[in-house]
Structure formats: C-alpha cells, structure tokens
C-alpha cells in the first residue's frame, strides 16, 4: 500500500513539474512577444519602462491595478489622446502586451 502511495506521489510531482515547465516557457514567450509589441507600438510615448514622459505613466500601480478588461479596452480603443490598436494588433498580440505590462507588477 505504501508503495502505491509513493508511486502516485512521484507521478503527481512529475506531472506538476511538466506543467510548470511548459507553462513557464509559454509565459516567457508571451512576455517576449509582448515586449516586442511594446517596443514597436508603445515605447515612443510611454518610455522604455513605462515611465511616461509625453504620455501616461503605465508602470504606475494605479494603472496596473486596472482589470485586464479595462486595460485591453484602452489598448484596443485608445483614449485621452492615445490611438486605438484594435485594427493593427491581433488579439494574441494584445494578450502578450497585457502579460508584459503585468510583469511590471500588476495583477
């Protein structure tokens, strides 16, 4: 009986390890893709690290505490002088951009 529990524990541990490895590489790919989108579309106004300048400081905790839905809406539709990107970014690019922005400490 103890042998079955031990084998089951090893199996579960291996399964979690595989999930973490694939999940983290997927997240890393999303972050890298999001960084590329950020540099291509956002950096000119929001700065290298989102510090603002000519536009909103987007690395601010107040901004990053917004829901994903709220941030996606601004990215897609624009607002306060920012153009919308719904016609020039694919949904997966917006998702990657969201992951990159969240890596700065948001939800």
The segments of the chain whose pLDDT lies below 50 read: 15, 18-25
**Terminal Cα distance for the chain, rounded:** 43
The confidence score (pLDDT) of residue 25 equals 44
pLDDT of residue 16: 54
The residue extents of the domains of the chain are: 32-102
DSSP β-bridge partners for residue 79: 82
Q: For residue 21, what are its two tokens?
A: 């490895």
Alpha-carbon gap, residue 88 to 85, rounded angstroms: 5
Fold of the CATH domain 32-102: Cytochrome Bc1 Complex; Chain D, domain 2 (1.10.760)
């Amino acid at each position: 009986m103890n042998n079955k529990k031990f084998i089951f524990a090893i199996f579960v541990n291996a399964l979690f390890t595989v999930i973490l490895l694939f999940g983290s590489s997927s997240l890393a790919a999303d972050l890298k893709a999001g960084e590329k989108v950020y540099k291509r579309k956002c950096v000119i106004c929001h700065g290298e690290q989102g510090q603002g300048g000519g536009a909103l400081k987007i690395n601010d905790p107040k901004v990053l505490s917004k829901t994903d839905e709220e941030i996606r809406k601004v990215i897609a539709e624009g607002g306060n002088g920012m153009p919308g990107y719904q016609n020039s970014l694919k949904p997966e690019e917006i998702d990657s951009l969201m992951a990159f922005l969240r890596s700065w400490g948001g939800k």
